[in-house]
Amino acid sequence: MTRAEEPETKMLWLLVLTLPCLGGSVPVTSDPGPGTELVGIMGGHDAADGAWPWQVGLWFFDPTRSKWSLECGGSLIHPQWVLTAAHCIPGRNPVTQHLKVQLGGLRPSYSDSVQVARIIRHPKFRLEKKAEGGADVALLKLEAPVGPSNLVRWIRLPPASLSFPPGTRCWVTGWGDVAPGEPLPPPYNLQEVEVPIVADEICRQQYLRIDKVIQDDELCAGSRERDSCQSDSGGPLVCKWRGTWVQVGVVSWGESCGLADFPGVYARVTSFLPWIRGHIHSSP
Ligand code: ARG
């Protein structure tokens, strides 16, 4: 497993991945060196084996450096389909060969990853607007169906009419930063944190103060020091409903991480149900 990257590559990735989320302040001063590459969740703690069996890790290949690195999260929503954030997928014409999906592990492990057969970004996602433009969802079709096992299982999608009242406690998981610009330290155990759903109107007003628009297909969750952060993107926000977990959001963006006035912004899963189901059911 290679977690190290050359400094320029890292800068590039950070630019690609964090600019949409950070209001311009890129937390890159120096390369922290091998073994500390971008892989938290803020205010969370170690997840237990099998606690979040739908969590996947997305590994991307950088052809100029011939290196793979874990850059985003995702969720298994079907034996052969992963839901992630569209802004995680780089470039106009992404190639499936440069992406692999890690299933069922608590630690980053390239060798446990599988091939992707198709990458489908939401047609309304705008590359140039990045995450903040909304429609920040993508589907990845795996080459072969997987699971279920103790460690690998899919997450249920919510019924279209389901919405959770502000204050509902949900959970978000990932290998992203533990604070802005601070990567998850070794041994890189998957992190989990409980976050409250924030009222749409409150979130909208808060972000409007910094001239950012919360789209209708986005929802907010988090509180002071409880949030997802850089490199958690694409990962699932899940809530318990009638005794089962359902995926309510996809980590998308936020102003810094863990700020009291700026909760994390998530793609709202219920907004994309017809699109998701259309692909899963019509795919050969
Ligand atoms: N855009 C980030 C990424 O690509 C996710 C940021 C989430 N930010 C937050 N404050 N919840 O990894």
Give me ligand 1 centre to Cα 233, in Å. 5
Name the one residue in this structure whose structure tokens are 């952060």: 229
Model pLDDT, residue 236 = 98
Cα–Cα distance measured from residue 192 to residue 43, given in angstroms and rounded to the nearest whole number: 9
Mutate which of 13, 21, 129 to test ligand 1's pocket (most atoms within 8 Å of Cβ)? Answer: 21
91, 48 contact by CB (below 8 A): no
Inform me whether the pLDDT recorded for 264 exceeds 60: yes
Q: Which residues line ligand 1 (CB under 6 A)?
A: 17, 20-21, 131, 176, 227-233, 251, 253-254, 257, 264
More confident residue, 254 or 36: 254
Model pLDDT, residue 31 = 34
- In order of their start, the domains of the chain are 169-270 (2.40.10.10)
Q: Which atom of ligand 1 is nearest to the CA of 233?
A: 12
Kindly list the catalytic residues: 87, 136, 233
Cα–Cα distance measured from residue 268 to residue 218, given in angstroms and rounded to the nearest whole number: 5
| pLDDT per position as a tens digit, 40-57 | 699 999 999 999 999 999
Q: Could you tell me the pLDDT band of residue 284, with boundaries at 50, 70 and 90?
A: low
